[in-house]
Structure 1
Amino acid sequence: MDYYVLEGEFIEDEASFYFDEDYIDILDYSQIGVRFYNYSPKVYVDEKYNERGMSDVLKALDLLPIKIIVDTLVSNYIRGVQFYPVLVNNDGKLYKNYYHMNVFASYPLLNEYASEARRYSNYYESYKTVTRMVIDSKKLAKSNIVHDVFRVKEHCWKIIVNEKVKLILSQLNVSGVRLTPVEII
């Protein structure tokens, strides 16, 4: 199985967004990797930039896919991610067709040396920086990966997807993200 890093990629004139601090009230049940929002999260266009365009996947700390992507992923039984509807405000125009991706699955797979992992955080139990995402083949062989979307436990800031998700995103011709192959050593 091949794996890919799912990363935001800005299209021409695309805006950057941020979560409203008042609505980031999350009850975190990290033991089971599930989040519950007390209120629908609100996302606003970042006023400090002039750009206002919107791609299929918005960038706001995490990735916010549009409804057609979410519907397709859900109908294909993609595992390892939850989708929460968000209200997006772009200069006063409200969009209700974007979703926050809560990627709750994680696996200890990082090859720390080959990834050039640096700046370990005891709080997150994860490296803050990796030069490139490299999966350790020995750790991979010992893991029973049952999710299509997950994070690598040792570097929780990256989202990893499998070939099934890559194929779906390619067929939908999704804008606003890129898929970078993950090296396995």
Structure 2
Amino acid sequence: MPDPSPAALEFLLSRRSRPAKTLAPPAPDRAQLMPILTAAARSPDHGKLEPWRFVVIRGVAMARLANLVEIRGAALGKSSEDIAKARSQFDQGHLAVAVIEVQKPSDKIPPIEQSYSAGAVCVALLNAALASGWGANWLSGWPSHDATFCQQGLGLRDNERIAGFIHIGTERSAPPERPRPDLDAITEWKDA
């Protein structure tokens, strides 16, 4: 029998993202953020490629990205509602970690597995922030898929894309529990 970790399992069974709009200052400082980033970097990584990196966004950088959302939204013909919604994560945010997927050439590790690894980093970063007592939320939205926003806003290269923005801050209010998947409906057992 493996050595269980009841506290870790209980955390995972009860974890709940916090809506980004409910996060307030303070946000973690550099010293508080480093263990969270370290935990996220321990995610599954086939071939030890490290097909991801982090960009920590705070302060003036948040305002700069909010303004870039406005500019790019207008250039792309987005509705004012779409622009306002996308802009709000930067207008209201105090600290976000952009998880950047970095596709690396490999004969053994296909691109899809590198994408999965970047997604695993997002989940691990979110859970590490929550386990550290912070409120956290994983967001994306149309700006994260706009190459010009990614290049101008975060300096991404052609082999990079945003896997997600993990917003971290102090929880102002606990969200209500939401319905969870029906395990019987989504689980199939193959015993033979």
Q: Which has the larger radius of gyration?
A: 2
**So what's the TM-score if we normalise by structure 1?**
0.29
Q: Greater strand percent: which structure?
A: 1
Q: Greater helix percent: which structure?
A: 2
Point out which structure has higher relative CO (alpha carbons under 8 A, 6+ apart).
2
